[in-house]
Structure 1
Amino acid sequence: MSELPVSTPESESHSIVIKHAAVMTGDIAQSQSLSNTAFSAVVATLKKQLQNNANLYNGSYDIYRGDAFQLVTSQPNNAMNIAVGLRLALKAHSPSTDVRISVALGEAVFRTEEVRTGSGTAFVMSGRGLDSIKPQHIAFQSDNLILNQQTQLLTRFLDVHLTGLTQIQSETLLAYLLSEDKSHDSVADRLGKSRSNVSRILNASQYKLVVEYLSYMEEAITTAINNGKGCDSGKLTDSKDE
């Protein structure tokens, strides 16, 4: 795993500065309705997923206020893979629950030991996005106007689709997304189900459309960052051009 790019001026010797980062700010939906035992189990699942994604996508995370979290990654092209995976993991959990996640792309300045105190455009947009996310459960924005226009409506459709998935559909779709071997036989073995049952559940969950959305987002974000020259042209801000 590559190391996060670090900027170490004397005034910020412990801060990490990422020019193009993804920040995910979220919370557990309707957490107050859960029993103490159920809430603890949900938080444990959330923490496991955050840790796995931090390891996989070179990131850092924080859980605070009991049911809130933030994750920052230096691989913004994978931001929606992370967000969708987190939602599916909580919806697949027993008891099934959901999370609200606001994803934002931009500059991030933070300390790995206290991500929730981070600053920069990605943190600001992500936090504000969560404040206004209802009735949605997942939202995406960036400091690139063109990228926003290309992706926000698609993300709203994805959000509606994910909200309607059952616990079993969420579990099966997540297993498919995480599986290196995408064959239905492999996913069936992983879940201890029959191949025909897995195929039926995946088709009902419209898994191909979800995969196409994630691939589209990954490519769109990568293209936007590679072409970024500044906000005046509708591209990602690059401070050296300001």
Structure 2
Amino acid sequence: MSITVLTGDIIESTKLNADLLEKVQRAIAETFSEISGWGTPARFSEYRGDGWQIAFENASLSLRAALIIRAKLRAIDRACDTRIAIAQGSGKLPEKIETTTDAAFVLSGRTLDQMQPAFRMASGNTPEMDAICILLDQIVSNWTSTQARTILPFLSPDDTPRQQDVAAQMGVSRQSIGKTLEAASYSYIIATLKLLEARQPHD
């Protein structure tokens, strides 16, 4: 069984007003709920006020889950963001992740602690995955709130929505959705995710 562990902390949480901080915390919790609906066991924990951890039994969707979290936060406000350390390992998902010392959890926490200040995403498993995280981080960090809101529904691992349906929900034209996705580098992101997910184990 493969386990993915995402460990993060909210960036400059003390500078966010109470309303924004609550929205950020809620968005991370909502992402956990979505992951739980992907047909895989998942666990969620918050700690130290601005820290959090999500673990689930699927290695292939690790980057997609991280990008969904980043998109949700940047959709709130460009001041809202989180660092995310990704680690994968084998084993069974523990009932309580707060006190576990399983290898994937330790690796994820250590990767977050050692993350370079300039970056907001990192992988603890391989240099190649870490390099992909760095490049994706550069793209995500340049998203506007509009771009984050627009790309978010297209990051779901379920069936890709039609642009005209998302446009109707957002009250804009389909052409506007297409241009915003292009500006957000959506085609490059989704191609990267599909390639990685096809090569990684799903259980």
Query: TM-score if structure 2 supplies the norm length?
Result: 0.89
Does the CA contact (< 8 Å) of 2:27 and 2:69 recur in 1?
A: no
* 1:37 aligns to 2:15 (yes or no): no
2:37 counterpart SS class: helix
Structure 2 residue 7 is the aligned partner of structure 1 residue 25: yes
Displacement after TM superposition at 1:197 (Å): 0.9
Structure 2 match to 1:140 = 123
1:109 deviation in Å?
Answer: 5.9
1:49 corresponds to which of 31, 34, 41: 31
Q: In 2, distance between residues paired with 1:129 and 1:181?
A: 32
Query: Aligned runs of 1:141-220 on 2, under 5 Å?
Result: 141-142=124-125, 148-178=126-156, 180-220=159-199
1:106 matches 2:89: yes
Cα 1:96–1:185 shift into 2, 3 Å:
farther
Give the residue type in structure 1 aligned to 2:14: Q
Is 1:83 paired with 2:66?
yes
Q: Which moved more, 1:22-31 or 1:115-124?
A: 115-124
Rg larger in structure: 1
Question: What amino acid does structure 1 have at the position aligned with 2:179?
Answer: R
| Contact 1:109-1:120 at 8 Å conserved across structures | no
Give, as a single letter, the amino acid of the residue that structure 2 aligns with 1:153. Answer: A
Residue 121 in 1 paired to residue 103 in 2? yes
- SS of 2:87's equivalent in the other structure is strand
Counterpart of 2:64 in 1: which secondary structure? Answer: helix
Q: What is the rounded CA distance, in whole Å, between the counterparts of 1:149 and 1:137 in structure 2?
A: 16
SS at match of 2:61: helix
Contact 2:163 2:174 in 1 (8 A): yes
Q: Which amino acid aligns with 2:81?
A: D
How far off is 1:119 after superposition?
1.9
Residue identity (%): 25
Q: Deviations over 1:55-94 (max 9, x none)?
A: 3243111112211111111111111111110111111114
The answer to whether the Cα contact below 8 Å between 1:26 and 1:99 also exists between their aligned partners in 2 is yes
Measure the CA separation in 1 of the matches of 2:84 and 2:160.
28
CA contact (8 A) 1:53 1:59 kept: yes
The 3 A distance-change label for structure 1 pair 149 and 27 is: closer
Compute the displacement of 1:139 (Å): 1.0
Where structure 2 has 5 or more consecutive residues not aligned to the other structure, the ranges are none
The 3 A distance-change label for structure 1 pair 183 and 37 is closer
- Matched length: 200
Q: CA deviation at 1:181?
A: 4.0
5+ residue gaps, structure 1 = 1-18, 143-147, 226-242
Alpha-carbon offset, residue 52 of structure 1: 1.8
